[in-house]
C-alpha cells in the first residue's frame, strides 16, 4: 500500500509527507472503516498528540489521489490498493454485523446510472454506491443482527 502511494505521488510530482504516510498506514492496518478521530488517536503517543484537523487534511489528499475512499454513511475511510478507471462503477458492500467493507466494481451499474441521470438532466458531483447488508462470512456463521420488531 505504501509503495503504491509513493509511486503515485512521485509520478504526479506530489509530496508524500510523513503525516500522509502515517495516516495511510493507520487506515491500511484496519479491515474496517476508520474515522479521522480514530486515526488521530491511533497515531498519537504520550506527549505527542496528532490533531484531527491534520488527519482530515491528509485524508483529503489521500482521497484525491485514489489511495483511500470515504465511506459517507459511516463518515469514515478505507484504504484502496488498486486504481479504478473511469466508468468502473465503484460499489462498497458494508456489513452491518461485523462492520467490514468490501469493494467491487460494477460497470453495468455505472452505465445504467449514467443513463438514468442523463434522462433526469442531473449532473452528479460524486457517484459512490454504498450497499448495506450482511457479508458472506457473517451469513455463514449465522451472525445476523436482530431485526427490529414491526407490528
- Domains identified in the chain, total number: 2
Show the CA angle centred on residue 4, arms to residues 3 and 10, nearest 5°.
90
Domain range spanning residue 56? 2-79
Give the ranges where the chain is alpha helix by DSSP (H).
Answer: 2-12, 18-29, 36-43, 52-64, 107-120, 136-141
Task: Verify that 109 and 72 share a domain, yes or no.
Answer: no
Q: Which of 88, 85, 115 is nearest to 104 (CA)?
A: 88
Task: Verify that 46 and 104 share a domain, yes or no.
Answer: no
Which tens digit of pLDDT belongs to each residue from 118-141? 999 999 887 778 999 999 999 888
Q: Is residue 149 part of a domain?
A: no
Q: Quick check: 82 pLDDT over 60?
A: yes
Write the CATH number for 98. Answer: 3.30.1490.190
Task: Verify that 66 and 96 share a domain, yes or no.
Answer: no
Contacts of 104 (CB under 8 A, 6+ apart): 90, 91, 93
Task: Verify that 70 and 119 share a domain, yes or no.
Answer: no
Against a cut of 0.75, is the pTM above it? yes
Amino acid at each position: 500500500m505504501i509503495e503504491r502511494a509513493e509511486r503515485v505521488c512521485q509520478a504526479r510530482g506530489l509530496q508524500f509527507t510523513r503525516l500522509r504516510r502515517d495516516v495511510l498506514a493507520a487506515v491500511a492496518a484496519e479491515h474496517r472503516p476508520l474515522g479521522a478521530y480514530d486515526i488521530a488517536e491511533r497515531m498519537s503517543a504520550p506527549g505527542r498528540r496528532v490533531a484531527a484537523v491534520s488527519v482530515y487534511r491528509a485524508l483529503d489528499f489521500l482521497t484525491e489521489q485514489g489511495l483511500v475512499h470515504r465511506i459517507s454513511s459511516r463518515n469514515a475511510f478505507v484504504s484502496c490498493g488498486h486504481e479504478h478507471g473511469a466508468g468502473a462503477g465503484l460499489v462498497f458492500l458494508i456489513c452491518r454485523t461485523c462492520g467490514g467493507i468490501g469493494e467491487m466494481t460494477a460497470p453495468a451499474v455505472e452505465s445504467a446510472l449514467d443513463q438514468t441521470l442523463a434522462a433526469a438532466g442531473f449532473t452528479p458531483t460524486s457517484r459512490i454506491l454504498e450497499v448495506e447488508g450482511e457479508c458472506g462470512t457473517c451469513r455463514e456463521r449465522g451472525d445476523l443482527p436482530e431485526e427490529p420488531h414491526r407490528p
